[in-house]
Amino acid sequence: MEIDILVAEIGSTTTVVNAFHQIHTNQPVFIGQGQAATTVLEGDVRIGLENSIDDLRKQLATDKITYKEMFATSSAAGGLKMTVHGLVFDMTVRAAKEAALGAGAIVHMVTAGKLRRTDLKKMADQNPNIILLAGGVDYGERETALENAEKIAALDLKIPVIYAGNIENDEEIRLIFEDQSQELYIVENVFPKIDELNVEPARKVIQEAFEKHIIHAPGMEHIFDIVNESITPTPAAVMNLSKLLYEQIGDVLVIDVGGATTDVHSVTEGTEAIAKIQIAPEPVAKRTVEGDLGLYVNMENVIDIVGEAELAKEGYDLAKMREEYHAIPKNEAEREFVSRLTKIAVETAIDRHAGKIRYVYGPSGRGTLAQGKDLSNIKYVIGTGGALTRLEKGPEILQEILKKESGSSQLLPTGKVQVLIDHDYIMASLGVLAYKYQEAALRLLENSLRSPILKIEKV
């Protein structure tokens, strides 16, 4: 059986392959999904990838599968690991971190100001995939970024460096790294002016560098023997689709609860009223990743948030759950327990993602300020990831977070909000597919959401 397109999602534990047909027509079809254990620890992800394709073959009841194109998203081998270094934490450092997170990275280290010897040692120990260096608004402070560049170059780490700082430093940064075998990318400043973010150029280059260097990750060196199209960090693919959704339907919030992390993507400019009292700029497209909120690897962290005593009071047998707990729930009791943990993870992740109203007091009395991401204008909340798409209570859990308490300082959605579920669990696959086949990806997404919300015309 020949299939138009396969898209692999190579996760830390599981590799999933989604199959799409009639991709060049006005009615593209999602025809099936296969999965298998990821084999990065065995030194070759191709094994798990081929096993997942074989599982797909069995699902489709065919003797053989061939494909014209194959894309992939990856969070295997730790995903896209980055360190971020800037000048002032609340300015260039935060802007650089927003760029990294939006590109699908896991940020392992953040520093502000001049790098110390302890910072340099930690950077070398982290062994990131990419180092992002920023610092100074355009035509502002120069020395910190230059000194940091010299120190990073002296480490001779052979790790790609992206410079996204003061434009006046571009040529000197090139000179610093020209005698090194370290690859250098220079992009527009992530914080060119006070209170102005410019994260998209850096995000784009981060993803390009990731695809170019992914073969250096453990077990990934032969990935392009099978994949003949682009490879994207899994969270970046979800962000790409979220931004396309924003263009189609307006302000959107996407929540992805996984076994190790909970990711929240929001694409919204917020309200004009909040913008007037915002103390620092926020990107239109924002991603936060909560590395302690997972339903399997980090289950204990989620239990600690609500408390063992409270869960016991609610009737959950924690001792039995811990003994029999599976990555994929095996019975109704487990499904109920995972639903409860999912609710905690979602509530906590949204609380961390959303901005808040703050009150300050001065000579003229109380003033009102806003800090963080304004979600007031969100019109759609979308659930993806295994828990929210496979548990019956997914929609109910998402509805719960929209019930803003009276007097709450959180900048949560305020109007009528529609909750949608990625029923086919294919948002990440469609996000990478959309780089080449945008309209087909949107049509497939509409089918998965089971809602006629897109502007593209039906034929």
Taking only the tens place, the pLDDT of each residue in 246-288 is 999 999 999 999 888 899 999 999 999 999 999 888 999 999 9
Same domain, 389 and 343: yes
Same domain, 68 and 90: no
- Binning pLDDT at 50, 70 and 90, where does residue 405 land? low
Report which of 393, 135, 407, 417 is spatially closest to residue 266, judged by C-alpha positions.
417
Task: Look up residue 390 and give its amino acid.
Answer: R
The pTM of the full predicted model, rounded to 2 decimals, is 0.88
**CATH number for 451:** 3.30.420
Same domain, 1 and 72: yes
Q: Which residues contact 33 (CB under 8 A, 6 or more apart)?
A: 16, 17, 18, 19, 56, 59, 424, 425, 426
Task: Look up residue 386 and give its amino acid.
Answer: G
Q: Decide which of 317 and 165 is more confident.
A: 165
Same domain, 32 and 140: no
Same domain, 38 and 123: no
Which range, of 104-108, 155-159, 404-408, 439-443, averages the lowest pLDDT?
404-408
Q: Which residues contact 406 (CB under 8 A, 6 or more apart)?
A: none
| Distance of alpha carbon 104 from alpha carbon 176, whole angstroms | 28
How far CA 247 is from CA of 243, 284, 285, 324, 384, in Å, comes to 7, 12, 12, 44, 19
- Binning pLDDT at 50, 70 and 90, where does residue 459 land? very low
Report which of 157, 143, 158, 5 is spatially closest to residue 71, judged by C-alpha positions.
5
Mean pLDDT of the chain: 90
Pairing of strands 365-371, 356-362: antiparallel
Q: Decide which of 189 and 360 is more confident.
A: 189
Asked if 54 contacts 47 with a C-beta cutoff of 8 angstroms, the reply is: no
| Percent of the chain residues topping a pLDDT of 70 | 97
- Give pLDDT, residue 407: 61
Same domain, 87 and 137: yes
| Distance of alpha carbon 263 from alpha carbon 346, whole angstroms | 9
How many C-beta atoms lie closer than 10 Å to residue 35's C-beta? 18
| Distance of alpha carbon 388 from alpha carbon 194, whole angstroms | 39
Last residue of a domain, one of 216, 247, 263: 216
Asked if 417 contacts 399 with a C-beta cutoff of 8 angstroms, the reply is: no
Helix axes 94-102, 234-249, angle to 10 degrees: 90
Report which of 167, 162, 210 is spatially closest to residue 188, judged by C-alpha positions.
167
Average pLDDT over every residue of 323-341: 87
- Give pLDDT, residue 257: 92
| Distance of alpha carbon 317 from alpha carbon 211, whole angstroms | 45
Residue/partner pairs of 294-297 with CB below 8 Å, 24 or more apart: 294/258, 294/259, 294/260, 294/261, 294/262, 294/345, 295/257, 295/258, 295/259, 295/338, 295/341, 295/342, 295/345, 295/386, 295/387, 296/259, 296/260, 296/325, 296/327, 297/259, 297/260
Same domain, 275 and 174: no
β-partners of residue 186 are: 163
Same domain, 72 and 98: no
Tokens of 399: 């509805």
Same domain, 69 and 154: no
Same domain, 408 and 268: yes
Average pLDDT over every residue of 80-106: 92
Asked whether residue 206 carries a pLDDT value surpassing 60, the answer given is yes
- Binning pLDDT at 50, 70 and 90, where does residue 408 land? confident
- Domain interval for residue 308: 233-422
- Give pLDDT, residue 217: 67
| Percent of the chain residues topping a pLDDT of 90 | 67
Q: Decide which of 457 and 248 is more confident.
A: 248
Which range, of 48-62, 208-222, 298-312, 364-378, averages the lowest pLDDT?
208-222
Same domain, 94 and 61: no
Average pLDDT over every residue of 47-66: 93
How far CA 254 is from CA of 12, 146, 159, 236, 381, in Å, comes to 21, 38, 32, 13, 6
Domain count, the chain: 3
**CATH number for 207:** 3.40.50.360
Same domain, 394 and 437: no
